[in-house]
Structure 1
Amino acid sequence: MIFAAGFGTRMGALTAHQPKPMVKVAGKPLIDHTLALAAPLGLKTVVNLHYLPHILEEHLADSGVTTLTEAPDILETGGGLRNARTHLGSGPAFTLNSDALWRGPNPLSALQAAWDPDKMDALLLLIPRENALGHKGMGDFILNKTGQITRGAGLVYSGAQIIKPELTEEINERAFSLNLVWDKLLASGRLYGLPYSGQWCDVGSPEGITRAERMLNDTPV
């Protein structure tokens, strides 16, 4: 599941006439960078849309992915994942944001190798703050020795995870954040984290484009 429904307001003029996933970084739209991560795993892929959806629909028409336009309102991450369930097939699902770039191992492959459904209901890929380029906060989660996580200043959530999507059915709201699902998993001890060994860059603003291109070129950022 690739989340691509946002308005991209921090991009300013760059998203006046196109959705943020179509903004180019290193000569290629953000959505294409994201799809390239899923391709080696042969995943059935769903992309949610909302703002100027026809542009992404046209761009993705021959890609083999399923597009779902959310209307009249954005369903947020939790509602969006629940809305996509019938298109994702059975079993756990990966999620990715479409406004981040990576340098290092394929994040989805790293998650797949560490996934243990017997003890995990969700496994979040986390970035050390020094490798989370463009992130201005203090981090989101603290990792313990068993791999379980709690909320707090520490590692940065990357937007990449494996999660059992049926958990979204336990939330009564139509539009909601996956944070509500995570809160339930925190209470049950079934929310886990995996540190990522490479670099990750938030591309939510024009400055993020330059930062990401320098990261991809292995230029100090």
Structure 2
Amino acid sequence: MTIKQAMVLAAGLGTRMRPITDTIPKPLVKIAGKSMIDYALDALAEAGVERAVVNVHHHADQMEAHLRSYRGLEILISDERDALMNNGGGLVKGFKLLSRDPVFVMNADLFWIGERPGEPTNLERLAGFYDASRMDMAMLCVELEKTTGHNGKNDFSMAEDGRLQRYRDAPHDGVVYAGAIAMDPSLLDDAPADAFNINIYFDKAIARGRLYGTMLEGHWLTVGTPEAVGEAEETIRTFRAFA
């Protein structure tokens, strides 16, 4: 399967990144000379995505100006200036700008490096893994030791077939959620109209045995504080030197 559309969650306040985010939205913070959101957008474009919705709130004018200059794919804006919708509500609002076909969901401040040239990308493999007949969502996951900037905790446990449970409920074969999902927009047809956290739907999928994951190739980075910028850049330099 090739997934042609995406939603990128980019409306957060970035409070832990202050004072940097007092004057710039977190997705535009540059890591190794590249805005964080561009890592996500480039990965989507490379995987064959043609259209992406990006939600905006904090320093929304800066976000819109940056996104207008991006040429890799068509970008639509989901405007949350009036009210933040949390990640779940943001998806519901953003999905209204897309078709009913399968969609990638990505976070604007989580990205990876080190995919193998000539091999299917992480998102291409995620799209190929996703099977709507068995799965509510397919998540890209990563081993804890292949992360930089994470809190040191596993999010899920993964069975041999990729089925996921909360790590606290089954503390073995732990994995970290890498911030990318393949899903059908219809999964959220019964969602509330106001702000809510998408974790509600993760737990519903787990209860139905329909939350699955596949493993990321390369190294995954999250940048949550000003101090983490340098750590991420050092990881990128080191990784590229030995890749």
1:4 and 2:10 correspond: yes
Which amino acid is 2:89 matched to?
Answer: G
Number of equivalences:
220
Alignment of 1:161-180 (within 5 A): 161-172=181-192, 174-180=194-200
* CA-CA distance at 1:155 after TM superposition: 0.8
C-alpha distance 211-187 of structure 1, shift in aligned 2 (>3 A):
same
Q: Secondary structure at the match of 1:96?
A: strand
Is the contact between residue 60 and residue 81 of structure 2 (CA under 8 Å) also seen in structure 1?
no
Measured in 1, the distance between the counterparts of 2:110 and 2:153 equals: 18
CA 1:67–1:3 in structure 2 vs 1: closer, same or farther (change >3 Å)? Answer: same
The question of whether the paired residues in 2 share the 8 Å contact of 1:201 and 1:208 is answered with: no
Aligned to 1:67, the other structure's residue is in SS state strand
What's the % identity of the aligned pairs?
36
Q: Which runs of 5+ in 2 are unaligned?
A: 1-6, 116-120
Are 2:76 and 1:98 equivalent residues in the alignment?
Answer: no
Q: Which residue of 2 aligns with 1:69?
A: 79
Write the letter of the residue equivalent to 1:150. Q
TM-score with structure 1 setting the length: 0.93
Is 2:162–2:214's contact at 8 Å kept on the other side of the alignment? yes
Give the structure 2 partner of residue 33 of structure 1.
39
User: Take 1:114 and 1:218, find their aligned partners in 2: how far apart are those partners?
Assistant: 30
- Give the corresponding residue for 1:114: 129
Write the deviation string for residues 28-51 of structure 1: whole angstroms up to 9, x where unpaired.
211222211111213310100111
Whether contact under 8 Å (1:171, 1:181) holds in the other structure is no
Q: Structure 1: any 5+ residue segments left out of the alignment? A: none
Q: What is aligned with 2:94? A: 84
For the aligned residue pairs, the C-alpha RMSD in angstroms reads 1.6
| CA–CA separation in structure 2 for the residues paired with 1:86 and 1:125 | 24
* Residue correspondence of structure 1 range 196-207 to structure 2 within 5 A: 196-207=216-227
Deviation at 1:173, TM superposition (A): 5.1
1:184 aligns with 2:190: no
- Separation (CA, whole Å) in 2 of partners of 1:145 and 1:33: 30
- Return closer, same or farther for 1:116/1:77 CA change in 2, 3 Å cut-off: same
Q: Give 4+ residue runs of structure 1 displaced > 3 Å after superposition.
A: none
Q: Deviations over 1:158-208 (max 9, x none)?
A: 111112222222223511111111111111111101121211011121222
